[in-house]
Amino acid sequence: MRRLLFQGDSVTDCGRRDNPENPLGGGYPKFVAETLVKQQTPAELINRGISGNRVRDLRARWAADVLELRPDLVSILIGINDTWRRYDQNDETTDAAFAADYRAILDPLAEQGVGLLLLAPFVLDVSNAVSRMREDLAGKQAAVRRLAAEYGTLFLDTDALFQDACREQMLPPAAFAADGVHPTEAGHRLLAKAWLRTAEGFLVRG
């Protein structure tokens, strides 16, 4: 049975630390798990997302919350707080620092041959204030895309995913994330469906 580990910030955490009876939280990891059960795909899912984390925080806890768990696949969604703190706390994470810390968490996994699925951070344009963050987030999104190509990992462009869904379903951005950052149930289900589609080849090989 393959061990799938989800890492990131509040989008991944989604209340999992507040409810011991639901260690996967209420977001996309839970919906991934439910689908795998229905498909009778054997897998052990672990959620170690922590609300508020930046990539530097992942790096600080990487040994205990990733390496020691010996996962077969690590899914990483991080970056929005690296951008957000620039605007709400005047605490910037430069694109270079972001990429360096991200590379540091990928290196030990790549050396061990662990499967990787990198999700680019996203925002939905629910207000001018949220849309303004794109000027900073774009550099983080580009860094994740470059690292995915360099390390040969699976990659999911979540920003494009949400923009396409809004256009195709003729729904406002708030339908998928009311504050532009934290997905609604519909947003999490969309993420889960795209995650499963992206990871399908890995899961089939299992």
Q: Is 10 a catalytic residue?
A: yes
For the chain, the maximum distance between any two Cα atoms, rounded to a whole number of angstroms, is 47
Residues 9, 10, 125, 159: which is the catalytic one? 10
Query: Alpha carbon 159 to chain centroid distance?
Result: 11
Residues 65, 72, 95, 182: which is the catalytic one? 182
What are the tokens at 196? 């499963």
Q: Is 182 a catalytic residue?
A: yes
H/E stretch holding 103: helix 95-112
Q: Is 188 a catalytic residue?
A: no
Q: Which of 186, 185, 138, 130 is nearest to 160 (CA)?
A: 138
Q: Is 14 helix (H, G, I), strand (E, B) or coil?
A: coil
Active-site annotation, residues:
10, 179, 182
